[in-house]
Structure formats: structure tokens, C-alpha cells
Structure 1
Amino acid sequence: MRHVETQEKNPLPDKETIRVEKTEQELRANINKFNRNSLKHTETQEKNPLPDSSAIQGEKTEQELKEGISNFDKKALKPAETVEKNVMPSPEAIQVEKTEQELRTNISEFNRDNLKHTETQEKNPLPSPTDVDMEKKEKEFQGAISGFDKGKLKHTDVKEKNVLPDKAAIEAEKKGALA
């Protein structure tokens, strides 16, 4: 007899098979524990997959139209000549196009050497401090007017006096008017 190595086979399943079996067992247990009273009652409705009469009539009409088009007799048509018109642009449109083209050529051929050199002077657009102070005073004045409390005023009685001139003043006026 010779020496032979024995190989030990592992009859145990792998991790994936164990996981699948566990989930299968859990599902079966959950199905058995499921409360059927929590389901709602529904009525089954049988639907007819066949088309109704209006759909059949529409298909027949469409098929008749297709047959009429394919079986149409072209000899029954009268020959007709088509006249192609070459529409020319109006004189105004031609003139507009010419002026536009002239402007483009003038712009592209413009000589920049004929321009005079200029220096840009930046001006300060900010107001002077005196202008700012005057504007602040104006706003304060307007705020004082708009926020004035009329309740602080005292009541006054107005007395109108109509002073009549005496006789001497009337005589003096008459003499002045006559002179």
C-alpha cells in the first residue's frame, strides 16, 4: 500500500447561501404572521380588451381612405401648367441694400491715421463738501417740518379789525385823486 493524502471536503454552505436561506425563512415567517384583516376588500373588474364599435368604424374609414388614395386614377386629372415668377426686389429695397453695402465698405476701409489725438480729462462727479453740508441741512429742515407735532401749538383767537379812515384821511384822498 501506498501513502495517499486525504482531502477533507467542507460540506458547509458559503455565506451567500446562508444569507439567502435566512431571508427566505424570514419571509415565510412574516407571511404566516401577516394579519389578513388589515387588507381592504376590493371588487375585481373584468375589462374587455376588444375595441368598441366606434373604434372599429374609425379603422374602417381610415382603411377606405388609404385604399382610395392608392387606387386613385391619375388619368382623370387635367394637366395644368405652373408659372414660376421671379420676384425682383423693389427699387427702394435695392437702394437700402446699396447704402448698407457702401457703409460697410467705408467702415472697413476707414483710415485711422486721419484722426486727431485727444486726451481724456476725467471730471470728479462727486459733490463738494459744502454741497454735501447744504444737502444735509436741507434734509434736516424737511425732516423737522414733516415731523412737526401740531399738538404743541397753542390755540389763538383771531380778531379782525377793520379800521375806518377818519374824515381828514378821506379829504386827503379826494384831493389826491383830483390833482
Structure 2
Amino acid sequence: MTVKHCKSVQSAITQSSYKESVSFSTPQKLFVNPEVFRKLFKPTIDALIKHLDKLFKDPNLYDLHHIIMVGGFSECELVQTAMRKTFPNRKIIIPDEAGLAVLRGAVLFGHQPKKIGKRILRKTHGIQSWPEWEAELHPETKRVQIDGVDRCKDVFYKFAVKGEKVEDGHSSGQIFQALKTDEKTLECTVFSL
């Protein structure tokens, strides 16, 4: 790979596709046409809006009426304007020093984890199970016989499902037993999808 080096910032601008919309002056000031500047942010802002729009269509979020914008990017006026334009029926809150809010939240959670009462699960968690085989529920190809009992192999037993709202301290459990009466151990793999 060949790397080309220009002798100055001005010559780099002159040789670029931005030569008509970007200029440089001393001492080290770069002037960018406002429309070109906006276009640099557009793909990222559009992706953010699309993602949020998808989230708001989730039935678990039907009652969400407030948006709290945090992180450095939330301080960008272009992002704020796009959010207000796209979600006019939601109250948008931008705290002072929004760029530090994530850090402060992490520190607060570290010291006071009970402050977050509920969360929405990002993944589904479960294990492989071998329940008794049921003709109307399980495919014939998964039917196996173990100790004289027809079972269905490779069934995913879910403990918690993606998108589910859980409260602090939530737990889920199930009693399992070894498949064969003479087995002394039970191997269990937990999956997160």
C-alpha cells in the first residue's frame, strides 16, 4: 500500500474532492461549508433514528414517553434537532454535561445497584433439555428412547426471553434430573442468544 503525503494542509484540501467547500487559514483554522458538515453526520444520525424508531415499535416500550439523551454525541445540535423532529410526541431530556452522564451512571450503579429497578433483557437465556416426547408438539426426527421413555432431543428450554422486563433480583429456576437412572452427574450448558 502506498501512502501519499502532502506538503501542507492547504495542498491536501486542494487535491481533495472538498476543495470547493473546505478552506484552511493560519493559525490552524479549518473552515467547512455548513452543508458539507451536516452531510458528514447524516448517515450516523439516520442510523440512530432508524434504530430508535424500531425500538419504539416494540410492544414492551409502548408506554415510553420520555427520551433521555446522554453521551457526547447527544450534545450535538444536529442530533438533537433530528430527534425532536422525528419524535415530536416524546419529551426529550438532555441533561447538563450529557457527555459525562454515562460515566456518572456507571459510577452510581457501581455504588448503588438498586437504583435501577427494571431492565429489558438483551438476550434469551436457556439450556438444552430432553423433555418427554409429544407427537403433536415435537418432530418425529427428534424422537429418541432413553431408559424406555420416548424423549425429544435438543429442545431449548428458556429461562428468560429477550425483550422481557425483569426487576432487580429477578431469578428463574427449574428442577432437572439425569436422563438415565444410573447416571450420577448432570451436564448442563447455558446458552445466551
Q: Give the TM-score category using the shorter length.
A: under 0.3
TM-score (norm 2): 0.16
Report the structure number with the largest CA radius of gyration: 1
Q: Which has the higher helix share?
A: 1
TM-score (norm 1): 0.17
Q: Which has the higher strand share?
A: 2
